Amino acid sequence: MTDVKQLKVALLGAGTVGAQVARILLEDTTELTRRVGAELTLTGIAVRNLDSQRDADLPAELFTTDANALITDADVVIELIGGIVPASEYIRTALSSGAAVITGNKALIAQQGAELHALAAENNTVLAYEAAVAGAIPILRPISDSLGGDNITKVMGIVNGTTNFILDKMDTTGAAFDDVLAEAQALGYAEADPTADVEGHDAAAKAAILASLAFHGNFTFDEVHCEGITKISAADIAAAAQENQVIKLLAIVAKSDAGVSMRVHPTLISRDHPLAAVRGAYNAVFVEAENAGDLMFYGQGAGGNPTASAVMGDLVTTARALVAGALTAPVEANELPALALDDVQTSYAVTMRVADQSGVLAQISSLFAENNVSIEAMRQTAMDEAEAAGVQANGDKAEAWLRIVTHVGREADLAATVEKIRELAVVKEITSVLRVEGN
Ligand SMILES: NC(=O)C1=CN([C@@H]2O[C@H](COP(=O)(O)OP(=O)(O)OC[C@H]3O[C@@H](n4cnc5c(N)ncnc54)[C@H](O)[C@@H]3O)[C@@H](O)[C@H]2O)C=CC1
Ligand SMILES: N[C@@H](CC=O)C(=O)O
Ligand code: NA
């Protein structure tokens, strides 16, 4: 190739993902040059500590602690340090100077995405973040581009590898929560602060990004209803198994005439549902579109190499656009409101310890009816039988274990029903309330 243009690439961060991006850039330079039509030159890697151990063997001379010097000289800045500060400042500096930005930082995009997109448009440059949602899975570009002419109505999926890894191991090996979390951290799946994973914040950030792109609006992390997996017990998992179900942390965003609902919570699904087969740190995302129908995307949702693949895809696409001088025009967002959780339609599985006496079921079922919630299934199990199945129980023969699954109803009605049941003297304890999908 003659007269090959050179594009200067600055990398911020050399952790789990950054180190693999640097490795691929250095190993595959010749092939990338051919694919892009320009030479991608890694000009430097900004880190906090020059002496830290890296996951890849990278030339020492590339490392610097002066991120700003790298940014101001770059055509493309890849931000992989994570967090809000200083990542936000670095990205703003880069976009303001006209550099394209690629990031995997869902926390930042879910908080400041609209402003950062506006800044990119003002400076006639690009902001890309395929790595931010579902790791290696190509999901953001398919939603924005391939389905850009369709009308997406719902996106639902497993978008956090760490929690799927934990729930899967708890289900299949009976391992304890803390041990499996430590394993997920060692494998590079978890966020720097794994609270973001287990409390559902990471999935909620991804839900806001998916909703913004699928429904052409501007939605933020704090508009997503978020429940994590920290309250899921071994007993919940055993109870689910008894019903041929598994518990998965799902992100569900849906559009109706009224607006957009966005939620993340542990969810019961049948073992026959395709999402039940998503194991380990794998992710899967279902998309429902008016004309395309149902689509499913599946792949590795976390880890250094899979996430680096998504970053490299953005880099190649961005570099090609820079070479062609053909950046995508900014899109005007619509004004769809974010809906309150109360208006969501879902179904519940409620499990409780109740007095084993006559009239109990009648009292409980009448509360469901009064609150406009229809019962789909009800199962009462003697305490010793429940205990034998690994389900939470206390062995008290005067009590029974009761599980009620409802038909789909309004979240506010379901929640009100549960509160009323809690007040009944015959109900000793509500041991879990889980939403159910795909019944
Ligand atoms: N690990 C994964 O599976 C995935 C991570 N991501 C996202 O990619 C980003 C990076 O994630 P990881 O590589 O896993 O994190 P990491 O914690 O392994 O790496 C971040 C690196 O950035 C460095 N750093 C932090 N502040 C810095 C600063 N001010 N200047 C220079 N370096 C700084 C840290 O020392 C660390 O080495 C995050 O936004 C994360 O949410 C996205 C998808 C998957
Ligand atoms: N911590 C995240 C990493 C990828 O986004 C996860 O576990 O999915
Ligand atoms: Na992705």
Backbone φ and ψ of 404, nearest 5°? -120, 130
Q: From the CA of 190, give the closest atom in ligand 2.
A: 1
- Report which protein residue has its CA nearest ligand 1's atom 35: 48
Whole-number average pLDDT of the chain: 94
**What's the rounded mean pLDDT across residues 25-52?**
96
Tens-digit pLDDT profile for residues 264-322 = 999 999 999 999 999 999 999 999 999 999 999 999 999 999 999 999 999 999 999 99
- Nearest ligand for residue 299 CA: 3
The alpha-helical segments, DSSP class H, found in 177-303 are 177-186, 195-198, 201-214, 234-242
CATH class held by domain 341-436? alpha beta
**What's the rounded mean pLDDT across residues 74-92?**
98
Domain boundary assignment for the chain: 6-135+305-324, 140-300, 341-436
Tens-digit pLDDT profile for residues 132-176 = 999 999 999 999 999 999 999 999 999 999 999 999 999 999 898
Closest by Cα among 137, 182, 186, 192 to 159: 137
Tens-digit pLDDT profile for residues 91-107 = 999 999 999 999 999 99
Residues forming beta bridges with residue 22, ordered by sequence position: none
CATH number among 3.30.360.10, 1.10.10.60, 3.30.70.2610, 2.170.150.70, domain 140-300: 3.30.360.10
Backbone φ and ψ of 229, nearest 5°? -110, 5
Closest by Cα among 179, 181, 176, 178 to 164: 181
pLDDT, residue 206, reads 98
Closest by Cα among 342, 418, 340 to 375: 418
pLDDT band with cut points at 50, 70 and 90 for residue 3: low
Instruction: State yes or no: is 206 an active-site residue.
Output: yes
Q: What angle do CA 18, 62, 22 make, to 5 degrees?
A: 30
The active-site residue out of 206, 231, 255, 397 is 206
Contact yes or no for 238/388 (Cβ under 8 A): no
Domain 6-135+305-324 part of CATH 3.20.10.10: no
Gap between the Cα atoms of 295 and 287, Å rounded: 5
Gap between the Cα atoms of 131 and 245, Å rounded: 30
DSSP state of 327: P
Tokens of 314: 């953005």
Q: Which of 17, 202, 249, 250 to mutate to test the pocket of ligand 2 (most atoms within 8 A of CB)?
A: 202
pLDDT, residue 403, reads 94
Say whether the peptide bond before residue 138 is cis (omega within 30 degrees of 0): no
Helix (H, G, I), strand (E, B) or coil at 424: coil
Q: Which of 80, 108, 111 to mutate to test the pocket of ligand 1 (most atoms within 8 A of CB)?
A: 80
For 49, 254, 257, 266, the CA distances from 229, given in Å and listed in that order, are: 34, 22, 31, 6
Helix (H, G, I), strand (E, B) or coil at 95: helix
pLDDT, residue 42, reads 98
Whether ipTM exceeds 0.95: yes
For 17, 140, 308, the CA distances from 132, given in Å and listed in that order, are: 11, 9, 11
pLDDT, residue 384, reads 72
Gap between the Cα atoms of 194 and 177, Å rounded: 13
Gap between the Cα atoms of 110 and 106, Å rounded: 6
